[in-house]
Amino acid sequence: MIQIYNNIEEINSKAADLFAASAQKAIAEKGKFTTVLTGGSSPAGIYKLLASDAYKTKIDWSKVFIFWGDERWVPLNDDLSNAKMSYATLLSHVPIPAENIFEMYKDGVTPEDFAVTYEQSIRTVLGDEGKFDLILLGMGDDGHTASLFPREAVLDEQNKWVAAYYLAPQSMHRITLTAPLINKAEKIIVVAFGEKKAHALKEVTTGVYNPSTYPMQLIKPVSGELLFLVDKNAAGAN
């Protein structure tokens, strides 16, 4: 389902409301909330809102378990780190235990080896079902999501839950949750705003199925819900 909003503030507010509601429901039903944060420029406003006084008391952060959808293979203090942005805007401002946060990077190991470790961490917290309560995703102007980039072999991955690979156009390694794992989630929210996303959004939602070019098309929950929160510019409604 696609919901179109007037501006980014409205998107942020809706996403924060949905995050809080998912957390409350999961904690009431299961005693914990497992979620995946996205990187890039789109989610910072959502994270700041969740860290604000109005929202942070709505969630029992001691029962929240944080993973990431993808990461550039850079240390936490690097400005390219998705985790660095998430700490700066959210995680350093809420009472979440450090052991509940699963950063997608570790010094001194290869990204490929760490992908195996990260999958094991997910299995430890979620069990072998691998069903996250809520996954937040962004979408690049090229239709990529997480680190599922156009024409990369990772798009064909069927078995691994987490994969790492060298992304030649960016001259860096990426580590990412794979589409089969993402699609197990209870709820997936994709946030996209700005006219630079309009072409990809149109292709992803109404174009011919061609995930090699528009990897976001791989995101099709098995039994959960997929919701796009977009602004008028991304929706091409202006």
- Smaller CB separation from ligand LXAUTJHC, 38 or 217: 38
Give, in degrees to the nearest 5, the angle at Cα 144 between 199 and 70.
150
Least spacing, CB of residue 51 vs ligand LXAUTJHC, in Å: 19
- Smaller CB separation from ligand LXAUTJHC, 23 or 85: 85
Among 50, 70, 133, 226, binds ligand LXAUTJHC (CB under 6 A): 70
Burial class (CB in 10 A: 0-12, 13-18, 19+), 213: middle
Window 27 to 66, contacts with ligand LXAUTJHC (CB under 6 A): 38-42
Q: Does residue 82 interact with ligand LXAUTJHC by CB under 6 A? A: yes
Look-up of token digits 């999961």: 26
Exposure class string for 171-186: b at 16+ Cβ within 10 A, else e: eebbbbbbbebbbbbb
> Are 154 and 184 a contacting pair, CB within 8 Å?
no
β-bridge pairing 225-231 and 162-167: unpaired
x-or-dash string of contact with ligand LXAUTJHC, 110-149, rule CB under 6 A: ---------------------------xxxx----xxx--
Q: In this chain, which residue has its C-beta nearest to ligand LXAUTJHC?
A: 40
Size of the residue set binding ligand LXAUTJHC (CB under 6 A): 15
Look-up of token digits 């109404």: 206
- Smaller CB separation from ligand LXAUTJHC, 35 or 82: 82
Give, in degrees to the nearest 5, the angle at Cα 77 between 73 and 79.
75
Of 70, 103, 106, 107, nearest to 87 by C-alpha is 103
Least spacing, CB of residue 141 vs ligand LXAUTJHC, in Å: 7
Q: Which residues bind ligand LXAUTJHC (CB under 6 A)?
A: 38-42, 69-70, 82, 137-140, 145-147
